[in-house]
Amino acid sequence: MSAKRKSVIIIGSGAGGTSLAARLAHQGFDVTVYEKNDFSGGRLSLIHKNGHRFDQGPSLYLMPKLFEETFSDLGEKVSDHLDLLKCETNYLVHFHDGDQFELSCDLAKMCEQLKNYEGDDEQTVLRFMDFLKETHIHYERSVDIALRRSFPNWYDEFQLKHLPNLFKLHLWDTVYNRTKKFFLSDKMRKAFTFQSMYIGMSPYDAPAPYSFLSYTEFAEGIFYPRGGFHKVVEELEKIATKKFDAKFVYNTGIEKIIVDENQVVKGVRLENGEEKYADLVVCNADLVYAYNKLLPPTPYGKSLGEDSQFTSSSISFYWGMKRKMPEFHVHNIFLAEAYSRSFDDIFKRHLLPEDPSFYINVPSRIDPSAAPEGKETLVVLLPISHITPENENRIDELLKIARARVIKTIEARLKIGNLEELIETEIINDPRTWQAKFNLWKGSILGLSHNITQVLALRPKIRSHLFKNLYFVGASTQPGTGVPIVLAGAKMVEKEIMEDVGMIERVDDRPTIFFQYILFVLFIIAIAYLISSLF
């Protein structure tokens, strides 16, 4: 390695690791990425079988500006790398009684549909517009606060300029509770809150600002990269390697992160026993796994693993169908009648819901290359609890029950007879798969939860506070989970590293310690006021 360039080892080639590799290589760092699997992308990878192409994880290309920003920062245009196909309808939502509702960017169409459930008068439209206004504020302010700055210290969150956001973002309210203020019917409240599952949370628990997930679909639409979502990582890797000389090494797992007696990270030990050294190490592997399996034992790591709240896992069925399936749109949501109870089953009782809600993606409806001619490719994602002592020995049993319930629900709501006979190819991922294939702690597919005590300054730091020269990028560190959010996080890590090595000046706009404590007291008063106003 060149003595003139800072060397960086990145563990994992997920969206965060790959985009950060491109960013740091662009800045002149000597970057090497080590990946345990023989494929890139982590959960953003593909599965191929019998001519069918399945997106193993994410299938919703949302918040396109964050993707554009990533490519632009590397001197590239998204349009030169990705052929983005826009979904004409965002989702087709299926209710328990056979009713259907199309969510789309066509606001006129949306308003007409809403009248069927909310009342045929101007108040229905005005309430919907108020909903869009509030979620727009949640979107803009969340991006500005959470996706444009890191919070290396707890007091970074307690600044006077952030006080108005306590009121504008409704931080101590929930997605579902806010939505009740704009929609009167049970069905519409469901249709505008299920998006919290993008972050692996119940809408009854997800902080209100995450309603921005609903807003971005209406304001910016849902896209799909031709060739599969993995194209995003594939193109970023090409930029990193061909344009900026980063190196990617596959089939190479990490056994340990090397830490000296002064708690300084020196490099990594590979599973084959080799040791690789670098000036800096960035971990794109699951953060909780890293603190418990790759780093020396610490009370902090133990607490993360045992005391934190985690997002859901999933049972995902990858089905190759014998014929075209015009009954489906690209994105399909099947909602439980017992909506609240179904989330309690997942997050409180750690059970498989008796009446599950689930999502079906049919990529071949928008990109025919995802399936052989005359056939269809389906991905069914059914949220389920992460692995717990109550369910870890029952997963095979739960898998069979889940499959039967999904098939029965589809047949009943879409009037399809004998769906089982149409499935010619099947692959299944369950919580054990996510844990084994991607080292996801407890099989949680989206990492640490985003409850109010695990966001912003309270979420694990992108620069380790325990080990020098160690950084994190990915779902369980700041700013949070989801591909566009992780891409924004990679930009944060790039800036943090460049400041730490002296390549750019660190701008500290924090007040003095005295005023930090004054502001902290003001925050506590504001929080007390907000909480009291809820009762």
Summarize pLDDT for 366-376 with one digit per residue, the tens.
999 999 999 99
**pLDDT number for residue 243:** 98
Q: What SS3 class is residue 370?
A: helix
**pLDDT number for residue 343:** 96
pTM, whole model, 2 decimals?
Answer: 0.93
Q: Are 315 and 334 in contact (CB under 8 A)?
A: no
Question: Is the pLDDT confidence value at 65 over 70?
Answer: yes
Question: Is the pLDDT confidence value at 514 over 60?
Answer: no
Q: Mean pLDDT, to the nearest integer, of 46-62?
A: 97
Question: Is the pLDDT confidence value at 328 over 80?
Answer: yes
Q: What SS3 class is residue 491?
A: helix
Question: Is the pLDDT confidence value at 121 over 80?
Answer: yes
For 32-60, b where at least 16 C-beta lie within 10 A, e where not — what string?
Answer: bbbbbbeebbbbbbbbeeeebbbbbbbbb
How many other β-carbons are positioned within 10 Å of the β-carbon of residue 97? 8
Question: Is the pLDDT confidence value at 82 over 60?
Answer: yes
**pLDDT number for residue 151:** 79
**pLDDT number for residue 2:** 44
Q: Mean pLDDT, to the nearest integer, of 239-265?
A: 98
What pairing do the DSSP bridges indicate for beta strands 247-249 and 313-321?
A: unpaired
CA dist 229 and 212 (Å) reads: 22
What topology does CATH give the domain 7-45+58-83+228-308+450-500?
Answer: FAD/NAD(P)-binding domain (3.50.50)
Q: Which residue has the higher pLDDT, 155 or 78?
A: 78
Compute the 3-state secondary structure of the chain and give helix, strand, coil in percent, each to the nearest 5: 45, 20, 40
Amino acid, res. 496: E
> What is the H or E stretch that residue 334 is in?
strand 331-334
Structure tokens at 76: 């590239």
How many other β-carbons are positioned within 10 Å of the β-carbon of residue 181? 13
pLDDT in tens, 125-147: 999 999 999 999 999 999 988 88
Which residue in 177, 156, 166 sits closest to 523, CA to CA?
A: 166
The full 3-state SS of 72-119, as one line of letters, equals HHCCCCHHHCCCEEECCCCEEEECCCCCEEEECCCHHHHHHHHHHHHC
Q: Mean pLDDT, to the nearest integer, of 437-447?
A: 97
463 strand-pairing partners: 471
> What are the domain boundaries of the chain?
7-45+58-83+228-308+450-500, 106-220+510-533
**pLDDT number for residue 1:** 41
pLDDT bracket for residue 535 (50, 70, 90):
very low
Q: Mean pLDDT, to the nearest integer, of 354-381?
A: 97
CA dist 166 and 457 (Å) reads: 14
Handedness of CA 478, 481, 485, 489 (dihedral sign): positive
> What is the H or E stretch that residue 314 is in?
strand 313-321
**pLDDT number for residue 160:** 59
